[in-house]
Chains A and B, each alone.
Chain A
Amino acid sequence: MSKDRRVVITGLGIFTPNGENPNDFWKNISNGKSAFQSKYKDGTPILKEDPSRIGSMLVDYDPSKYFSFKEIKRLDYFAQYGLITAKQAIEDASLDFEKIDCKRVGSIWGTGIGGGNIFEQTSRKFYGEPSKAVSPFFVPMLISDILPGHLSIKHGLMGPTYTTASACASSLNALIDSFILIKNGFSDIIISGGTEARSQICLRGFISLRALSSYTDQTASRPFDKDRNGFVLGEGAACLILEEFEHAKKRNAKIYGEIIGVGMSSDAYHLTAPHPEGFGCTLAMKNALNFADISPNEIDYINAHATSTVLGDIAEIKATEAAFGEAIHDVSISSTKSVTGHLLGAAGAIESIACIKAMEKNLVPPTANLFTIDEKINPKIDLTPKKAKRKEINIAMNNNFGFGGHNCSLIFKKV
């Protein structure tokens, strides 16, 4: 790896039920304000007999506010959400594609599923009608790589464009790949991020996995709380512009922070359950710390993956303790999923923006709904319950883990 090339963040975009731009999003998550809904995506109320009656969905979303008829026909929701955030981030970074070398610009996104909604809609027709004709738009709407493809065509980007899929770690993998490519000189700018759109069939699947919260109010997501019982399924997207430091300086770009460490690992254990001791998670955090060449006590804040599941939150805390040693007592930890719910493949990008805003504002966003800390958790660990906390944050770590046992850790630093 090149020691000379540094990778910074020069643009942000976000589109979630908690906020449709980075400032609103930050205001809501730092105030512990969730936006859970008891409605299906089509706006109808969730049935009483449905075992999970709450979600963090963009129920009032109207595609025609953002896209033309022709575009809507070519874009599943996951791609639409991603494009909305990319537009914000490109504007925020003041990127002028006429003035930069687009052969050196790429786009890498993470998504857990891809076009679940178009798959559902097409399948219903396919199995329900005698004609087996499938729209020519089906495949390009379904495939999870298509969002970077659209961005490449729209802006003339001729660098690497693709999608990473590692379930709930997908967009952290996308950011890590983007970092590695810029660091090693393959690209100067990568438009990266994560996106996920909720579909009914996947919701049902998560219910069957006993993964979702059964609470029906705004306290449904309770990471680290003794009464947590699952996550709240969400949807939305976030975009980050990653850029080589000198390239950013030359064009006087605003710099939000630097990526100084990345770590990846796998559990080699179970399809959906975390390893009870979180060995793989520890390894990812240690790899990121080693890469950054810093000691754990230099980390001021950790945005935990902590989705509010019974097994996952405990395994993660054990893993974090093992990676941090004594330094675990000085670091502030929080799970912003307590207010955002779990946006699956978009989680890594969304929580990376939470880390960047936390550094900018020197404020640790809270773990909302943390009423009574689980007794299996060391009470000396600062989980930032209920209220945001003022603290100088120079370095922040973001962790995400996905079904399949994929673990990612990313470290941001103020510039």
Chain B
Amino acid sequence: MSDQNSKIKDIDIKEVESKVKKIIAEKLGIDEAEIKNDSSFIEDLGADSLDTVELVMEFENVFGVTVSDDIVESINTVGDIIEYIKKRAEETEPK
């Protein structure tokens, strides 16, 4: 498992959104078209705490980021996680 200091995998920032939505669709068994940036994981997409843990583990695995428990608690919508992953990716880009 990667730690906070590890580099984000070589990912095009433009692809983050579509990849995140694809993972959510696959793990929750729902149509990608139903997943909007302002969809709440719990209220709109029907995820429970176990689904959330599974999704975070998969984001960590695919994007090579670490999502700490504090961050997980602050994430409510699909857009929140997309923004977080993009931010982490930008931070680790060479200046």
Interface residue ranges, A against B (CB under 8 Å):
68-70, 73-74, 131-133, 135-137, 140
The answer on a CB contact under 8 Å between B50 and A70 is no
**Contact A136/B1 with A69-B29, A70-B28, A70-B29 known, Cβ cut-off 8 Å:** no
Residues 50-75 of chain B, each 1 if its beta carbon lies under 8 Å from chain A, else 0: 10011001000100000000000000
- Report the minimal beta-carbon distance from B29 to chain A, rounded to whole angstroms: 3
Of residues 15 through 65 on chain B, the ones whose CB sits less than 8 Å from some CB of chain A are 28-29, 46, 50, 53-54, 57, 61
Partner of B57 from the list A74, A136, A140 (CB cut-off 8 Å) is A136
CA distance A136 to B1 in the complex (A): 15
- Residues in chain A near residue B50, CB distance under 8 A: 74, 136-137, 140
A-B contacts at CB below 8 angstroms, number: 23
CA distance A55 to B37 in the complex (A): 50
The size of the chain B interface, using a CB distance under 8 A, is 9
- Residues in chain A near residue B54, CB distance under 8 A: 135-137
The answer on a CB contact under 8 Å between A131 and B61 is yes
The answer on a CB contact under 8 Å between B29 and A133 is no
CA distance A132 to B50 in the complex (A): 18
- Residues in chain A near residue B1, CB distance under 8 A: 131-133
CA distance A137 to B58 in the complex (A): 13
- Report the minimal beta-carbon distance from B22 to chain A, rounded to whole angstroms: 16
Residue in B closest to A139 when the chains form the complex, CB atoms:
B50
Residue in B closest to A131 when the chains form the complex, CB atoms:
B61
- Report the minimal beta-carbon distance from B28 to chain A, rounded to whole angstroms: 7
Q: What are 23 of the A-B contact pairs (CB < 8 Å)?
A: A68-B29, A69-B28, A69-B29, A70-B28, A70-B29, A70-B46, A73-B29, A74-B50, A131-B1, A131-B61, A132-B1, A133-B1, A133-B57, A133-B61, A135-B54, A135-B57, A136-B50, A136-B53, A136-B54, A136-B57, A137-B50, A137-B54, A140-B50
- Residues in chain A near residue B61, CB distance under 8 A: 131, 133
If over half of B's interface residues share one DSSP class (helix, strand or loop), that class is named, otherwise mixed; here it is helix
- Report the minimal beta-carbon distance from B60 to chain A, rounded to whole angstroms: 8
CA distance A131 to B62 in the complex (A): 12
Interface residue ranges, B against A (CB under 8 Å):
1, 28-29, 46, 50, 53-54, 57, 61
- Residues in chain B near residue A135, CB distance under 8 A: 54, 57
- Residues in chain B near residue A69, CB distance under 8 A: 28-29
List 17 additional contacts besides A73-B29, A74-B50; criterion CB under 8 Å. A68-B29, A69-B28, A70-B29, A70-B46, A131-B1, A132-B1, A133-B1, A133-B57, A133-B61, A135-B54, A135-B57, A136-B50, A136-B53, A136-B54, A136-B57, A137-B50, A140-B50
CA distance A339 to B19 in the complex (A): 51
CA distance A70 to B28 in the complex (A): 7
Residue in A closest to B58 when the chains form the complex, CB atoms:
A133
CA distance A67 to B28 in the complex (A): 14
CA distance A242 to B65 in the complex (A): 52
- Report the minimal beta-carbon distance from B52 to chain A, rounded to whole angstroms: 9
Residue in B closest to A72 when the chains form the complex, CB atoms:
B29
- Residues in chain A near residue B29, CB distance under 8 A: 68-70, 73
CA distance A74 to B29 in the complex (A): 13
- Residues in chain B near residue A137, CB distance under 8 A: 50, 54
- Residues in chain A near residue B28, CB distance under 8 A: 69-70
Residue in A closest to B27 when the chains form the complex, CB atoms:
A73
- Report the minimal beta-carbon distance from B17 to chain A, rounded to whole angstroms: 23
CA distance A131 to B2 in the complex (A): 10
CA distance A69 to B29 in the complex (A): 6
- Residues in chain A near residue B53, CB distance under 8 A: 136
- Report the minimal beta-carbon distance from A70 to chain B, rounded to whole angstroms: 6
- Report the minimal beta-carbon distance from A269 to chain B, rounded to whole angstroms: 43
Residue in A closest to B49 when the chains form the complex, CB atoms:
A136
CA distance A131 to B60 in the complex (A): 11
CA distance A131 to B28 in the complex (A): 22
CA distance A73 to B50 in the complex (A): 11
- Residues in chain B near residue A133, CB distance under 8 A: 1, 57, 61
CA distance A136 to B49 in the complex (A): 9
CA distance A140 to B64 in the complex (A): 27
- Report the minimal beta-carbon distance from A136 to chain B, rounded to whole angstroms: 4
Residue in A closest to B57 when the chains form the complex, CB atoms:
A133
- Report the minimal beta-carbon distance from A271 to chain B, rounded to whole angstroms: 36
- Report the minimal beta-carbon distance from A121 to chain B, rounded to whole angstroms: 15
In the A-B complex, list the 6 residue pairs whose CB atoms are closest, starting with the nearest: A69-B29, A136-B53, A136-B50, A136-B54, A133-B57, A137-B50
- Residues in chain B near residue A68, CB distance under 8 A: 29
